[in-house]
Amino acid sequence: METLDLFSLRTHFTRNRILLCFNGPISRSLIEEIGNALRNYLQADNALPSAAMDVFSIYIEMTQNIRHYAQSRGYGELESAATVVVARDAEDRYMVQAGNVVERADGAVLLARVAELAALDKAQLKAAYKTQLRQPREPGASSGAGLGLIDVARKSSLPLQASLSEIDENRAFFSLCAFI
């Protein structure tokens, strides 16, 4: 059996300045534990308290959105998986990237929504956030009903970037990236 080349994996992580990454089924407690690790890394990285909170907040909204989505679609444990990467880019910004498997139609809706939000300035995003905050809650909904994505867009210092990669005729991998 061929083992993984850990050294080249490490080199890849180092070159891409990856602070933290995760891939697999994500539970409520795992979100908290990884969040804890993230906070510690940010502190060790001497991030400003406001930047550390923005990164943490984006991480929480993205991962909780993934959990809520998997629950709303009735996905099983293995299907409610997330891929999460926190890294620094060439301009020393923090990049928070999270992705998950979605129904292709849902992915297309999400992409369009991200494009809409990416076109708004901060004042427009705030107005959109307040409008969404006032929307009646859907019966049985446990989440903030679409607020999370707007909140992530508000906190990102650059427009959100998203992509959709087809997996098969029904499903695709949705990936979202925010910058601090």
Partner 1 sequence: MITGTFDMNDLNIASTQSTPGIQTDFRNGVLRMHGDSYPENSFEFFGPVIEWIESFLAASSDPLRLELRLIYMNTSSVKAMMDIFDMLEEAHGKGRAVSVAWHYDPRNERVLDLADEFREDCTFPFDISPDVA
Give the residue with the Cβ less far from partner 1, 98 or 164.
98
Cβ of 71: how many Cβ atoms within 10 Å? Answer: 12
Contacting range for partner 1; rule: CB under 8 A; set: 18-26, 29-37, 93-101, 110-118: 29-37
The interface with partner 1 within residues 102-131 (CB under 8 A) comprises 130
Stretch of residues binding partner 1 (CB under 8 A), selected from 11-19, 52-60, 79-87, 107-115: 52-60
47 makes contact with partner 1 (CB under 8 A): no
* φ, ψ of residue 112 in degrees (nearest 5): -65, -40
Structure tokens at 74: 């009735």
**Binding flag, residue 50, partner 1 (CB under 8 A):** yes
Q: Coil, strand, or helix at residue 54?
A: helix
Strands, sheet with 171-179, edge to edge from the N-terminal-most edge strand: 18-25, 81-88, 94-103, 171-179, 161-166
Tell whether residue 143 is a contact of partner 1 (CB under 8 A).
yes
**Residue ranges in 150-179 that form contacts with partner 1 under rule CB under 8 A:** 151
Nearer to partner 1, 49 or 74 (CB): 49
Task: Report yes or no: 144 and 60 within 8 Å, Cβ to Cβ.
Answer: no
64 binds partner 1 (CB under 8 A): yes
Q: How far is CA 37 from the centre of its chain?
A: 16
* Residue among 56 and 94 whose Cβ is closer to partner 1: 56
- How many residues are there in the chain? 180
